Structures are given as structure tokens and as C-alpha cells.
Amino acid sequence: MRILLALIVGITAGILLAATRPDAALAGTAVAQPIGTMWLNALRMTIVPLVVALLVTGVAATARAARASRLAGRAILVFMICLWTSSALGALFTLTLLDLFPLGAQAGAALKASFASAAPAGEVPPFSEFLVAMVPTNPVSAAAEDAFLPLIVFTTTFAFALTRLPAEPRELLTRFFQAVADAMLVMIGWVLWLAPLGVFALAYVVGAKAGTAAFGALLHYVAVVAGTGILIWLLAYPTARFAGRVSLSHFLRATSPAQAVAISTQSSLASLPAMLRGAEALKLPIAASGVVLPLAVAIFRFTGPAMNISVALYVAHVFGMQLGPEQVAIGIAAAAITTLGAVSLPGTISFVSSIAPIALAMGVPIEPLALLVAVETLPDIIRTLGNVTMDVAVTSVVTRGQTEGLGENEADALLRD
């Protein structure tokens, strides 16, 4: 709320001053722009170490869970399929919504002008060069140059190699990267404590340069990204009905308490007890849902890939970038992979670190993210609603598939294994 209030006050101050004293408004942007840029840079400096650390610990946790039981291994396989599907559908839905409801020319030009310093990160090379560049010759150089896709390839490979080490060095390195991630989250907390100041400065510049059209552009952004999230969220219902073979009315009743918690907390983790009760109401095996649902909360965020790539595609739309199939494919891959290392915290905390790697991989500027984070509350509610609903739906699919056709003793034995 502090960040949102700073956004509204900053834009309003910029608009009013530009309308009454244009010279003073222009002079004010010369002061506000550096302040906003410094805050954005402070947020950006945590991205590379945070993404690397979270990917390593995420893969380690996933591998550890997969080794723990066959049920967890099959659940993870379903999660991976769903995440890649979410990413691809998110790109499709966003591009379709932008074609059907494009941003108005005046609002688009105004918002683009306010981010005049945010030039596109550069053209994506031909597909053959892209394939070669995916394997970095120097991962440190890739990190320094914000080449996130090669960095992700190296980090993911390193993380899987880490899982093959003996227990002692594996746990040592995992704890090290977990400590790095925790330290980065502390730093992000400090930066976000200053967010009202940084967002006010950036919003003032937008208001002074873009005028009232900026409000329309931000509302359009929220509608497109939230609309994409709603379409992804709705997929949970046919999944539960046809793949999980759950009555739709029962599923609606069973998930409504978890959805209420999700709206009020914007946290899948806080919704876990209600999800477990919902799974029990659907008569899913308690032993199975007790394995699958906590695992889903830890590594499975179904709406994440779709809504993250939606933000990157929207920024590209504002800048008039014509993204080719190769760039969209790169974004789909980056969105699906980086979701494994997402943080189980409200979206305002993880917003930039989740979306910046996707945008950079596609050649889309990330400077607008510092302003868009201020209106993340409504999209983040949709994210959490979609996540908790799909968590229960996928649990119905995995647990039904694992125990169907078995006697009670056989089912219990499989779940214990």
C-alpha cells in the first residue's frame, strides 16, 4: 500500500506541476530521475546472485524430493509439464489480448516517452547463433553482461551436477547457496523499504512527461496481465474435472477456503492448511496429499510463467518491439525454468527478480519494471488464486493416478514408498 500510494502521489504531482508550471516540472525530473534510477539499480544488483542461488537450491530440493518417493517424482514430472504449458499459453494469451485490445496510441506514446532512457537490450541473434550462445564459454561473463539464458543453462547444469556429489559436499554447497539467497532477500527487503521514495521519483517523472495518459496505460497493463492470469487460473477446473475426475461442484466448494486465504495473504504457503483440508474434502488420500501439496507450494507456481512472460511481452508492446518467434520461444523457456527458483513471497518482493531474466533473455528493457511493481497487488492476487487452485487440481490428478485400482493395503504401501 505504501508503494501504491507513492505511485499515485508521484504521478499526480508530476501531472499537476506539468500543467501549472512546466519549467519547474522539467527541473524536477532532473532531480527525480537519478533518485529513481539509483533505486532501480539497487534492486537490479541483487538479481544475478539471487537467481543463481534460488535455481541451485530449487533444483537440489526438487531432486531430493524426487529421490524420497515415487509419488513425489511423478508429481514433479506433472509440475514440469504444467509449468512449460503455462509459459507457452501465457505468451499466446497475452499476444492475443494485445491484438484484441491494444494500448491506445496516446497512452502508449506517453508511457514510452517516460521511459525514453530504457532502450531495448538489443536484437536477438539468429536461431543458429542463439543455440551456440546458450552454452556460455564464460558463465561469469554471461552474468556480468546480463545474458540470462546462458547463465540459466550453466546454473541448471551445475545444480544437477551438485545433486550427484556425495552427501557432505552436496549439503555444504546447498547450504552456501541457500545462505546467498537468504542474504539477497534481506538486501531486497532493505531496498523495498525505500521503495516509496524510488517509486515516487519514477512516478513523478512519468506524470510530468506523460500526463493523465499514464493512468490509462497502467490500467491497461493491469487488465492485460490479470486477464492472462485469469485465463490460466480457469484451466485448473477442467484439469480437476477431467484429469482428476473430481466433481466440479465439489472442487469449487473444496478450494474456496484456500482461495479466501490466498486473497487475504497473497501467499500460497499461508494457504497450505486450507488446501490440505480441501484435498481431504475431495476424499483424496491424506498420505498422498500430504506429500504432493507441500511440494507444490515449494516448487510449483502454475500462474508464474504465464504472468511473468505476460509482463515482459507487455513492456515490449509499449516499446513497439516486433518480437519474432525465436524471441518468444526464448522467453517461454526462460519463464518456465526460472519459476523453479521463484520466491514463495508476495509478488511485490519477487517481481523484478522473477521477470528481469525473462525480459533480458528476450531483449526487452527492464527499467519499466520499477514502476510496474507498484501496481502488482491485483495481478499478484490472481497469481496466488491460480496457484492454490491448480495445486489442489494437480494433487487430485497425481493422487488419483497413483492409487486408482489398488486395494487399500497396496495403496498405502505405494504411498509409503
Residue 66 has pLDDT above 70, yes or no: no
Q: What are phi and psi of 11, to 5 degrees?
A: -65, -45
Rounded to whole angstroms, what are the CA distances from 243 to 78, 98, 417?
A: 12, 31, 23
* Crossing angle between the packed helical segments 213-234 and 195-210, to the nearest 10 degrees: 120
CA angle 318, 358, 388 (to 5 degrees): 100
How large is the average pLDDT for residues 319-336?
89
> What mean pLDDT value characterizes the chain?
81
Residues comprising the chain, all counted:
417
The pLDDT of residue 121 is above 50: no
What pLDDT, on a 0 to 100 scale, did the predictor assign at position 408? Answer: 46
pLDDT value at 154 more than 70:
yes
Cell numbers 487488465: residue: 223
**Which string of b and e fits 272-288 if b means at least 16 CB within 10 Å?**
bebbbebbeebebbeeb
CB atoms under 10 Å from CB of 26, counted, come to: 13
Which residue would you say has higher pLDDT here, 201 or 269? Answer: 201
Residue with cell 510463467: 305
Separation CA 113–CA 102 (nearest Å): 17
pLDDT digits (tens, 9 = 90+) for 337-361: 887 666 555 555 677 778 888 998 8
Of residues 402 and 200, the one with the higher pLDDT is 200
Over residues 206-251, the pLDDT tens digits come to: 777 766 666 777 889 999 999 999 999 999 999 999 999 999 999 9
**Gap between the Cα atoms of 312 and 90, Å rounded:** 11
Average pLDDT rounded to a whole number, residues 389-397:
94
The predicted structure's pLDDT at residue 410: 42
Q: What is the pLDDT of residues 170-185, one digit of tens each?
A: 899 989 998 998 898 8
CA distance 376 to 351: 8
The residue among 87 and 371 whose pLDDT is bigger is 87
Task: Evaluate whether 352 touches 47 at the Cβ level (below 8 Å).
Answer: yes
**Cα dihedral across residues 143, 145, 149, 150: positive or negative:** negative
**Matching residue, cell 538479481:** 47
Residue pair 246/396 in contact by the 8 Å Cβ criterion: yes
The SS3 of residue 404 is coil
Classify burial at 224, counting beta carbons within 10 Å of its beta carbon; exposed 0-12, middle 13-18, buried 19 or more: buried
* Segment 91-119 mean pLDDT: 79
C-alpha distances out from residue 386 to 187, 233, 250, Å: 29, 4, 17
The predicted pLDDT at position 385 comes to: 93
Domain 2-416 falls in which CATH fold?
Answer: Proton glutamate symport protein (1.10.3860)
Residue 412: pLDDT above 80?
no
What CA–CA distances, in Å, run from 203 to 38, 161, 199?
14, 44, 6
Domain ranges for the chain, please list them. 2-416
DSSP assigned state of 125: P
pLDDT at residue 296, as a whole number: 83
Classify the phi-psi angles of 166: left when phi > 0, otherwise alpha if psi is within -120 to 50, otherwise beta: beta
**Residue 405 scores a pLDDT above 50:** no
Nearest to 226 by CA among 335, 384, 383, 3: 383
- What pLDDT is attached to residue 123? 54
Q: How confident is the model at residue 130 (pLDDT cuts 50, 70, 90)?
A: low
Q: What's residue 313's pLDDT?
A: 95
Does this model's pTM top 0.95?
no
Average pLDDT estimate for 193-201: 84
Instruction: Supply 358's cell numbers.
Output: 525473462
